[in-house]
Amino acid sequence: MAYTLEAFAKDAHDILIRDPSPMGREEIARKLEALLAEDGFIAKYCEGQVPPGRTVLYEDPKLGFQILRHAMVADHAGVPHDHGKSWAVYGQAVKHTDMTVWKRLDDGTEAGKAKLEKDKSYRLTRGKAGVYNGADIHSIAYPAGAIFIRVTGTDLEKVERLRYDTDKGTVVAERRASMQNAAA
Ligand SMILES: [Fe+2]
């Protein structure tokens, strides 16, 4: 039987009830990979007239997690950031996302300053998903036309998160709109 968005949302809900730890999020990533492998899901949500930018496909009324579709209209390379007290699972639906994971080298004692070093980079292609827990620092780059599905522990636009500038060696804490890329 085909795996659907509704079945995935129920699975994610049940997993988070049973195991709200990072291990549960890894289970969600594997389920998201199964969903993204479904041609029926891709045809329904990621082909044809797909609204650009960020669309909430599902919000869990009890746990508050969200399933989002990000349809990107322009090439983009983002800055390193974390997910504050929340988390996200990223899974690729169309084209690819290049993910870079960063290590923080300083001890955080100097306000507004941060020194980062690239740890690893890899490409998410259709059907591949990864988990990015609260303090994990990462940045993404993608081409125009890329579409990915994110599951976030809560509405990340309401969560204070750290955003880094590796050229200036700075860090700011902010709440911000996340990956709209609709009008670019
Ligand atoms: Fe992120």
In a domain, 35, yes or no: yes
Confidence at residue 184, expressed as pLDDT on a 0 to 100 scale: 37
CA of 111 relative to ligand 1 center, distance in Å: 22
Quickly state the pLDDT bin for 47 (edges 50, 70, 90). very high
Give the range of the structural domain holding residue 79, as residue numbers without chain letter. Answer: 5-174
In a domain, 180, yes or no: no
CA of 105 relative to ligand 1 center, distance in Å: 20
Q: Which residue has the tokens 């990621």?
A: 46
Q: Pick from 87, 168, 98: which is nearest to 131 by CA?
A: 87
Quickly state the pLDDT bin for 2 (edges 50, 70, 90). very high
CA of 110 relative to ligand 1 center, distance in Å: 24
Quickly state the pLDDT bin for 183 (edges 50, 70, 90). very low
For the entire predicted model, the pTM comes to 0.92
In a domain, 105, yes or no: yes
Confidence at residue 180, expressed as pLDDT on a 0 to 100 scale: 66
In a domain, 88, yes or no: yes
Instruction: Starting at the earlier edge strand, list the strands of the sheet with 96-104.
Output: 76-77, 137-142, 96-104, 116-125
- Average pLDDT value over all residues in the chain: 94
pLDDT, mean of residues 137-156: 95
Q: Pick from 107, 40, 72: which is nearest to 182 by CA?
A: 72
How many domains does the chain contain in total? 1
In a domain, 67, yes or no: yes
Digit-coded pLDDT (tens) for 100-111:
999 999 998 999
Digit-coded pLDDT (tens) for 54-72:
999 999 999 999 999 999 9
**Whole-angstrom distance between the N-terminal and C-terminal Cα of the chain?**
39
In a domain, 36, yes or no: yes
How many whole angstroms from its chain centre is CA 177?
Answer: 13
In a domain, 33, yes or no: yes
Q: CA 168, CA 139: separation in Å to the nearest integer?
A: 16
pLDDT for 156 beyond 60: yes
Q: Pick from 170, 110, 164, 156: which is nearest to 137 by CA?
A: 164
CATH code, domain with 96: 2.60.120.10
CA of 1 relative to ligand 1 center, distance in Å: 32
In a domain, 129, yes or no: yes
Confidence at residue 179, expressed as pLDDT on a 0 to 100 scale: 67
CA of 76 relative to ligand 1 center, distance in Å: 14
